[in-house]
């Protein structure tokens, strides 16, 4: 089950890290590099939705009893922003 509250907390931490950096692009890149899975979280009529920015292959291959993976979330305004970010960081 997805814990959206936890993902929103992670996204807030990421936002603070990036805003506190003098090189925001490098800070974003370092976040993406540091984690196995990066999710874009954005508002929707139902609350929040997700788009996998990094790690879709890993998630597709995961088994319930498989190894843990590191993950974080990045707040975006729309799914389109998440897709654009995914393309830029690929």
Nearest CA among 28, 53, 31 for reference residue 41: 53
Give yes or no for a contact between 18 and 10, defined as CB atoms under 8 angstroms apart.
no
pTM, to two decimals: 0.89
Tell me the backbone φ, ψ of residue 26, rounded to 5 degrees: -65, -35
Q: Confidence band (pLDDT; 50, 70, 90) for 1?
A: low
The residue-averaged pLDDT of 19-38 equals: 95
pLDDT tens track for 30-82? 999 999 999 999 999 878 999 999 999 999 888 777 778 999 999 999 999 99
Based on C-alpha coordinates, what's the Rg of the chain?
13
Name, in order, each residue with C-beta under 8 angstroms of 15's C-beta and a sequence gap of 6 or more: 75
* The Cα angle at residue 45 between residues 80 and 17, in degrees rounded to 5: 55
* Domain limits, the chain: 4-89
């Amino acid at each position: 089950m997805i814990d959206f509250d936890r993902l929103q907390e992670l996204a807030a931490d990421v936002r603070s890290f990036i805003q506190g950096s003098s090189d925001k692009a490098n800070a974003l890149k370092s976040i993406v590099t540091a984690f196995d899975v990066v999710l874009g979280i954005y508002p929707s009529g139902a609350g929040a939705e997700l788009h996998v920015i990094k790690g879709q292959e890993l998630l597709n291959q995961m088994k319930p009893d498989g190894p843990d993976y590191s993950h974080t979330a990045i707040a975006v305004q729309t799914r389109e922003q998440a897709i654009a970010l995914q393309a830029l960081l690929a």
